[in-house]
Amino acid sequence: MLYCEKCMKLVEESKCPNCKKSKVREPKVNDPVFLLFEKAITAAAIEEILRNNGIPSFQKGLLGSGVTAYLGYNMESSYIYVPYGELDRARELLGNFFEDEIDDEDNNT
């Protein structure tokens, strides 16, 4: 995997398919890497889960603070990023969290 600094995403090609930037490189441990895209309320819960497990993260809102203030927090969605060195652990942690939630829903039907 290679890393696009502009998009903060891992890519498989020598050119980022998102921004078409050709200066992709090997990721470094502390590079912020895209983890997932979620509604703001869910993103806040995910960030708390990550923080409680010692994984630093940050969010970038889709709409921006001005539009969010006008439309309301429920309309906002966020991109969540974690350091490359914590990506696998974050995926594993969140995968387990959402699997448990899905299993609970299946048992209630």
Cβ atoms of 27 and 72 closer than 8 Å: no
Quick one: pLDDT at residue 63?
59
Task: Determine the average pLDDT of the residues in 31-60.
Answer: 91
Please tell me the distance from the alpha carbon of residue 100 to that of residue 96, in angstroms, as a whole number: 6
Max avg pLDDT among 22-31, 32-41, 91-100: 22-31
Q: Is residue 58 left, alpha or beta, with left meaning phi > 0 and alpha meaning psi from -120 to 50?
A: beta
Residues contacting residue 22 through CB under 8 Å, at least 6 positions apart: 14, 15, 16
**Model confidence, pTM:** 0.77
What pLDDT digit, counting tens, does each position of 53-96 carry? 999 999 887 655 544 444 454 556 888 999 999 999 999 999 86
- The predicted pLDDT at position 101 comes to 44
Q: At what angle do helices 87-107 and 40-52 cross, to 10 degrees?
A: 120
| Domains (range + CATH), the chain | 1-28 (no CATH), 31-107 (3.30.70)
Which among 17-26, 48-57, 87-96 has the top mean pLDDT?
Answer: 48-57
